[in-house]
Amino acid sequence: MESRRRFLTIGLFLFTLALGPVGTYYATPRAGVNSVSELWLDVSLGPPLVGWFNRVARPEDIARVESVEQIGLLAEIRTGRRLVVFKSAAEAERRLPLVATDIDIVGYNLEHSPATPAEEQADPVGSVQRMQALARRYDLALALGPDHDFALDNGPAMASYVDLFILQVQRSQQDPQAVRAFVLPLVAQLRQANPAVAVSVQVRTEGDVVALVDLIDSLKGDLDGVSILTSPTTTETAEALVNELRSRNATPPAATATPPPAAPAVTVVETLPPNFWPLWAMSVVAALLVGAILGGLLTLLLQAAQRRR
């Protein structure tokens, strides 16, 4: 009897060992984008930009309003995701229940400013946790847009509780070296804290759009999107910036050409992938072990039934 128990224990151990590598075989790391044209866009909207956004937006793009008073603009959005920004968790708790069904993402701008209550500034991580609980209550994603100092001091600790992390670089966007020194090490820390977090940089619609896209292009491997802060007087710049982003290194459509004459029929010999035989062997071993284990269990059950008689 003792030998049968030992056999079953060893069999189960070998079965687990044989199947272990298969569980991680299909795991793949996060892959960066190949061009800035692949990044999603998060656009701060005013009335002049609503129709334009509907024409150019992709399903993953975000139409954003900076206050709940502008929520009516989002009712006109036909493509993409909808986001409303709150400057304080207390305000969000009061007003989000009234608009939750009209949006997909709730935003939280945690900043060293009078718009963010002092108690929230004193406990940034706790305030983000508070916003996360609110977002989950209404089945919404949470986007965090902290100012530069909050991002540096508390970014990794806050990243665990958010779905999107917006890095504000608009004040230094004319200094590419300073932007890269801020963004690149911080993104690595954010992703270490939360590998699932989506990261964007926020720029404003001013200056040379080509130079601005050059800056974003230098960061593209670490980004998921670009957030664009607009104003009523810079709508043309916003449109030019998006056009430059979407056309930069974009893959052109395949040219239509006359197909070449059909080649003579040949016999194709398919080769198996190099990892086929090891996986096949593990599967056979696993099947044999399962059969042996089940056979041993059946024998034990039959013997027990005979003893009861």
pLDDT attached to residue 244: 97
Q: Residue 108: beta bridge partners?
A: 86, 144
pLDDT attached to residue 182: 98
Question: CB–CB of 234/240 below 8 Å?
Answer: no
Q: Cβ-count burial of 218 within 10 angstroms (0-12 exposed, 13-18 middle, 19+ buried)?
A: middle
pLDDT attached to residue 284: 55
- The two tokens of residue 33 are 């984008």
Exposure pattern of 63-90 as b/e (b: 16+ CB <10 Å)? bbbbebebbebbeebeebbbbbbbbbbe
pLDDT attached to residue 83: 98
From 72, 151, 75, 73, select the one nearest 108 (Cα to Cα).
151
From 25, 17, 21, select the one nearest 273 (Cα to Cα).
25
pLDDT attached to residue 259: 55
pLDDT attached to residue 296: 72
The pLDDT profile of the chain, 309 residues, written as one tens digit per residue, is 444 444 444 444 343 333 333 332 222 334 468 899 999 999 999 999 999 999 999 999 999 999 999 999 999 999 999 999 999 999 999 999 999 999 999 999 999 999 999 999 999 999 999 999 999 999 999 999 999 999 999 999 999 999 999 999 999 999 999 999 999 999 999 999 999 999 999 999 999 999 999 999 999 999 999 999 999 999 999 999 999 999 998 665 555 555 555 555 544 444 444 444 455 455 655 666 666 776 776 677 667 767 765
pLDDT attached to residue 258: 55
In this structure, the dihedral spanned by the alpha carbons of residues 236, 172, 62 and 140, taken in order and rounded to 10 degrees, is -150
Using the Cα atoms of residue 34, residue 36, residue 37 and residue 41 in order, give the sign of their dihedral. Answer: positive
Question: CB–CB of 151/172 below 8 Å?
Answer: no
* CATH classification number, 38-247, choose in 3.40.50.20, 3.40.50.2000, 3.30.70.100, 3.20.20.70: 3.20.20.70
